[in-house]
Chains A and B, each alone.
Chain A
Amino acid sequence: MILILSTFGDLSTDWVIDWINYYNCPFYRINAYDVFFKKVCVDISNSQIVLENDRLKISDINAVWYRKFGLLRNSETFKNAVHAVPFESMVNIYREWTAFLKTIANIFESKQWLTHPDAVRLNKCSVLRLAKEVGLDIPQTCVVNNRNIIDQLLTEQPLIFKSIYDPFFPKHEDEMYTMYTQELTESLVRECDLPELFSPSLIQEKIEKEYEIRVFYINKRLYSMAIFSQNDTQTQLDFRNYIWEKPNRRVPYKLPHLIEKKIRKLMYKVGLNCGSLDLIKSKNGLYYFLEINPVGQFGMVELPCNYDLHRKVAIELIKMDRKRFSRKICG
């Protein structure tokens, strides 16, 4: 049986399940927040999970799809708790939650995983270093905490800055703030009166791009898409600054074999058999690797390219489910 660890309302999960149903394969879906509303018992000694009236024997499961399982801070329960519980307790609740998810993941240790949970906590900088090791081009990158270096670097090249770990979208007095990739200009440094010392931040050289490339990777296969965002200044740095009336052009793309080979190597090194990658094709003709998103949306690659990805993910899961005795991660 295929076990799907997901989140309520994730459409990609729904669509993959439609195909698993179509092929008449047994599956069971657990949404992370079920824990808040349903009776759950992870029975360690008897190797089973009981969810309401469903009894799930660990030995019946052969493949596990780990898909957006348990972003606690996105849940309503967490958002409400933030106001009611002191900060230290909140940090602890968060740790407990992470350990709980880890427990579930551990129970299925020997199964075939599509995206192993141990591999999803990527550090951007480590991944960049590995990318360089396998021979991919990466933008000049450093983590700095002081204005001197920034002033110095800005005299040499245009810069951008982004989160080291995850972007987040803080809400303050009912205003949403976004943390998209931004250009770091001299005027911005002046305007926000950047202090001499600040929290370590990821700074990268700004690559003059011809277009962006988003890759969906699954069991060594790559499905790529080019995004032309250069026409509009609003999306030049980060195409998520979306223009709804005139969406960016997003088209099927075929990376050169050598780049695909290096990406396979990189994914193997980080222990992922599935995920999304961001690259830039620069104006000087190079492919710059930017980052891996381990649980990336493949719907956004699927939609414009008609790659039939939901069916392909379903087929991969079914294949993995049938390869029951192999302990090796497909990758």
Chain B
Amino acid sequence: MKKNKVFYLYACCIPVKGSQRSLIMDIQRNNFYFIPNVLFEILTKYRTKSINKIKKIYQQEQAIDDFFDFLIKKECGLFMNSLSVFPKMDTGYQSPYLITNAIIETDRRSQHNYTNIFAQLSNVNCIAIEMRFYDFIALQDLIKIVAQTYDSTFRTVNIFLPYSAEYEQDAMKEFLLQNARVQHLIIYNAPQFIFTEEEQNSSCLEYVPYTMDGSCGHVSPRYFRANREMLCESINRNNCLNRKVCICKDGSIRNCPAMVQQFGNIATCDLKHVITQKTFTKLWNINKDKISVCSDCEFRYMCHDCRAFITDSNNIYSKPKKCNYDPYTTAWN
């Protein structure tokens, strides 16, 4: 009965082809399923062909049935009479924010004027900031800084603090309750792990026994994200650097904290002017399909890129240095 039917792969299940194998990126369930490259071909090139036709093309009966059974078991699609009512999902990327995320670094030598920084970031519609403190800051001073976000465009403020006995759980919890924008407060170098979530506004307080250094640029399945935002941004832009900015300890403006190049100082420059310059945004359009090795990798639309640490410093299109996956052997080295 299903012989004349076609297989409808749900628009949220995106087939991605790698060198040796492919996968289906399930952007509604944040999951992925490996498939052989031949099935990728069936699902793309022969998308509109009936099951019967596909069996004829490949001169296979059982294998084709097994493929589709697998996809149905994973709830990736079903048999339909026609696909005419099921358009593919548009994978375009649109954002009303010139900057989506900003990192603000502070140590004891920093001379930041936070009023100016927050106003400038709001001027580029920034919606999320992460404040990284490298040295101790008294809670009352932190409260004063966060209070200055009141008129900002930020919806999320995440904060990293180095552990101090002054950061008692109760005081920090109270701080989170008083400051609804602060959704994640992480105290690093802590003696032990503690994780609590506020019921009232679902903000998180975390004590972790890690340091802050060298935690950037790693590529690992731990960081894979299979969702629509990640897919669309990865297809169209550099998914790490696009619309990001860092205000470093000394006030210098960079695309990311790990990058060497700086573009003036927040104290003296107009941020909007800086981040709309071609020199600042030149890496934003380096999507995964333009990067060597990554362009042959089946994970490319769910994996974060890094342009700060790359295998060949003379080639800005070279593979991220801290990735040890080889798509040509499918081995994690």
Binding site for B on A (CB under 8 A): 14-15, 18-19, 21-22, 226, 228, 231, 246-247, 249-256, 303-308, 311
Question: Inside 8 A of A306's CB, which chain B residues have their CB?
Answer: 89-92, 228, 232
Q: How far is the CB of B326 from chain A (nearest CB, A)?
A: 32
Q: A250-B28, A251-B11, A305-B89 are in contact. Are A311 and B94 (CB under 8 A)?
A: yes
From B29, B88, B96, B228, contact of A303 by CB (8 A): B228
CA distance A183 to B94 in the complex (A): 42
* Chain B minimum-CB-distance residue to A246: B29
A selection of 9 A-B contacts at a CB cut-off of 8 Å is A249-B75, A251-B12, A251-B89, A252-B90, A253-B86, A256-B85, A305-B90, A308-B90, A308-B92
Q: How far is the CB of A256 from chain B (nearest CB, A)?
A: 7
* Chain B minimum-CB-distance residue to A245: B29
Question: Inside 8 A of A303's CB, which chain B residues have their CB?
Answer: 228
Q: How far is the CB of A262 from chain B (nearest CB, A)?
A: 16
The 3 closest A-B pairs by CB, nearest first: A22-B96, A251-B11, A18-B96
CA distance A247 to B30 in the complex (A): 11
Is the CB of B87 closer than 8 A to any CB of chain A? yes
Question: Inside 8 A of B158's CB, which chain A residues have their CB?
Answer: none
Q: How far is the CB of B289 from chain A (nearest CB, A)?
A: 19
Which of B10, B92, B125, B155 gathers most chain A CB within 10 Å? B10
* Chain B minimum-CB-distance residue to A311: B94
Q: How far is the CB of B202 from chain A (nearest CB, A)?
A: 14
Extra A-B contacts (10), CB below 8 Å, given A251-B86, A306-B91: A18-B127, A21-B125, A22-B96, A228-B78, A250-B12, A254-B84, A255-B85, A306-B90, A307-B90, A311-B96
Inter-chain contact count A-B, CB under 8 Å?
A: 68
Within 8 A of A (CB), among B192-251: 228, 232
From B11, B29, B125, B232, contact of A247 by CB (8 A): B29
CA distance A256 to B84 in the complex (A): 9
* Chain A minimum-CB-distance residue to B231: A306
Instruction: Name B's interface SS.
Output: loop
CA distance A228 to B13 in the complex (A): 14
* Chain A minimum-CB-distance residue to B72: A231
Complex contact B12–A253 (CB within 8 A): no
* Chain B minimum-CB-distance residue to A305: B89
CA distance A307 to B94 in the complex (A): 10
Is the CB of B150 closer than 8 A to any CB of chain A? no
CA distance A254 to B10 in the complex (A): 14
Within 8 A of A (CB), among B68-85: 75, 78, 84-85
Is the CB of B34 closer than 8 A to any CB of chain A? no
Question: Inside 8 A of A307's CB, which chain B residues have their CB?
Answer: 90
Complex contact B12–A304 (CB within 8 A): yes
B78-113 contact mask (Cβ, 8 Å, vs A): 1 or 0: 100000111111111010110000000000000000
CA distance A74 to B243 in the complex (A): 37
From A21, A246, A252, A311, contact of B11 by CB (8 A): A252
CA distance A11 to B46 in the complex (A): 40
CA distance A304 to B232 in the complex (A): 12
Complex contact B97–A252 (CB within 8 A): no
CA distance A308 to B89 in the complex (A): 11
Q: How far is the CB of B156 from chain A (nearest CB, A)?
A: 13
Q: How far is the CB of B154 from chain A (nearest CB, A)?
A: 12
Which of B10, B29, B78, B96 gathers most chain A CB within 10 Å? B96
CA distance A252 to B12 in the complex (A): 9
CA distance A305 to B94 in the complex (A): 13
